[in-house]
Structure 1
Amino acid sequence: MTLENKISQVFGLDDEGWARHANPWSGWTRFITCLPLLALAIWSRVWLGWWALVPIGLALLWIWANPKAFGPAKSDDAWISKGVLGERFWSSRSTMEIPERHRILPHLLNLVALAGLPFLVWGLVALQIWPTAVGVALIIGGKLWYIDRMAILYGDIVERSPELRYRGAPRT
């Protein structure tokens, strides 16, 4: 079992969970809100003191709830939907064959995102804007590039195995 697979289990990403997470609203709101809200909530200790635990808790709750907050994606047409669906394939790589050209770069891009963590922590501890901004930019930038590669991975896999293509939520 891969680390990504374990993380997806924590977030409850079963078949329905992945379909909900592939909804473009889920994907984009994660990028736009989750890390910036958490950083702002941590920074709010300057103004709120111990009451900052409330916005920190709310930000963490949103991070956990986001994949559950939206309905299933209607299709795989959106770039971010393809990226999330490719991420699902990637997280299952211990049981699914991943094309050779996709075996290294996702690890490197996760390292790019991880490289932002020390800057983010430094900025939030020292209340310095530039390391906070660099950390957020590296984490989000690395993750966006990773999702782009996952969209390409998704395309490669469904081209090879069309039966794996996401058919979308049933129309009601």
Structure 2
Amino acid sequence: MPVPRIDIFALSERLMAMDDAAWARHANPLSVYSRVSILPLMTVAVWSHLWLGWGALAPVALVLIWTWWNPRAFGPPATTDSWAARGTFGERVFLNRAKVPIPPHHAQWARILTLVSGLGVVPWVYGVWQLDPGLTLFGLSLMVGGKLWFFDRMVWLYQDMQAQRPEYAKWLH
């Protein structure tokens, strides 16, 4: 019996409760660029247990709330002709790949870069747990660097797909 595959990308979208309105707001460059703050903020929030003890759960909860709220925190951008907007459009195209197939090289790079980001979790968690700034920064670099590279690939995916699908091209204004 084949093992069912879990689509972590679709699972993430469901957990974030992303609808068309949230996606439109997330295309705002302020949303995209401020999202980079999440992992460094989580690092500080977890390390705050040194000063706050169990009270560190409050900053951790605030970072989790910020993670969910960030795509909704800013209004839709006046124009979507930006790297940030195109990246969010590419993420939407990627998430829709079961209905509208994407070029295989884009799917392959998405998996590779997700693996790079995922590998960063190990040194980050260990570094945060052991209060090791070097390992923590190494893990953060892999996670954030992998995610930013992934996001840049989503810009490329959107640029390739907008010419093929009129519904995708309409997102650009």
Length-normalised TM-score, structure 1: 0.92
Match in the other structure for 1:71: 75
Unaligned runs of 5+ in 1: none
CA distance in 2, matches of 1:79, 1:167: 11
CA distance in 2, matches of 1:117, 1:111: 10
Unaligned runs of 5+ in 2: 1-5
Q: Name the SS for the 2:145 alignment partner.
A: helix
| Off by >6 Å, runs of 4+ in structure 1 | none
1:1-150 matched pairs, under 5 angstroms: 2-31=7-36, 33-150=37-154
How many residue pairs get aligned? The number is 167
Flag the structure with more relative contact order, 1 or 2, with Cα contacts below 8 A and sequence separation at least 6. 1
Paired letter, 2:25: R
Instruction: Report the aligned-residue RMSD.
Output: 1.4
Paired letter, 1:49: G
Give CA-to-partner distance per residue, 1:69-117, whole Å, 9 cap, x none.
1112333211111111101110111111102331201100000000100
CA distance in 2, matches of 1:118, 1:101: 27
Q: Name the SS for the 1:39 alignment partner.
A: helix
Q: Name the SS for the 1:104 alignment partner.
A: helix
Q: Name the SS for the 2:163 alignment partner.
A: helix
